[in-house]
Each structure stands twice: as C-alpha cells, then as structure tokens.
Amino acid sequence: MSSPEDRAPLSREELGRAAQELRSALDRLLRKIRVEAADHGLSLSQSSLLKRLDREGPAAPAALARAELVRPQSMLATVNALQTEGLVERRPHPTDGRQVLIALTEKGRNRLRQRGELREDAMVRLMAERLTPAEQHALAESVELLRRLGET
C-alpha cells in the first residue's frame, strides 16, 4: 500500500476542481459563522476598518480609504458611524496640524475581541456537532496546509 506522499500530483484540471470546491465550501462556512455569531450590527466595511486599525494603528482617513479601496467620502461615512458608537476616535496628527488620525478606542478593541470570540465559539460548536472525532483530527491537521496557501 502506498503512502499519501507517494501519490502523483493532481492534474491542473483536478486542482482547479478542488480549488473551486474549496473556495465554495469556505464561502459557505464563513457565511454560516457570520450568521451563528451575529456581528453586533457592524457592516462589512465597519468591521474591516476596525480590524485594520487594530492591526496597523491610527491612520489618516485618506490613507484608510486607499487601503480599504473606497472613496474618501465612503470612508468618512464609515468613520462617522463608528465614532458615533464610540468605537473609533479622531486624534490630532502628531506632525501635521491640518490632519487628524483615526484610532481604535478601547470600546472598539473590546467589540473586535468579543466578535472574534463569538466566531470562534460558533466554529467550535459546528466542529463538535457536525464532525466525527476522526474528521475533527483531519481538519485540525489541514490547518497548516491552509495557512501555507495563505502565506505571502
């Protein structure tokens, strides 16, 4: 009996089918997790901006608009909505008095943390309820492969 390492590589067509099925399955899984772990009323653009500010720190609205691939007016609307909820704040730019920086507040950081915990809990629940122990192990072992696919 041959080991998995001894098998021939998949053809381009087989890889294409697998890639299409993987993308579709991940899309469905992410939608399911979003539903299971209600996003507390955050839109995708709001959530994306909060995550960016958490990762990269304060930034000028124009830079945020470029990074998020939206018009400056759209970014200002997103920032205003998040500021109204107390999730972001405007701060003076340290070297350019004409500019402001948008920064994540502690409340915003807490919202992101809670959102992440809800999503993780939803994923754990789905894995426990829908997968056999053997499937749980197989999925856990595949995480490194998925991580490698996402590396730059």
CATH of domain 41-150: 1.10.10.10
- Say whether pLDDT at 1 is over 60: no
- Say whether pLDDT at 39 is over 70: no
- Say whether pLDDT at 24 is over 90: yes
Predicted local distance difference test score (pLDDT) of residue 87 = 97
Characterise 75 by phi-psi region: left (phi > 0), alpha (psi -120 to 50), beta (else): alpha
Judge if pTM exceeds 0.75: no
Q: What are the pLDDT digits (tens) for 65-120?
A: 999 999 999 999 999 999 999 999 999 988 888 899 999 999 999 999 988 888 89
**Mean pLDDT in residue range 137-151:** 92
- Say whether pLDDT at 38 is over 90: no
**Mean pLDDT in residue range 38-57:** 86
Extract the tokens encoding 119.
């999503």
Predicted local distance difference test score (pLDDT) of residue 145 = 93
Could you write out the DSSP letters of every residue in the chain? ---GGGSPPPPHHHHHHHHHHHHHHHHHHHHHHHHHT--TT--HHHHHHHHHHHHH--B-HHHHHHHHT--HHHHHHHHHHHHHTTSEEEEE-SS-TT-EEEEE-HHHHHHHHHHHHHHHHHHHHHHHHHS-HHHHHHHHHHHHHHHHHH--
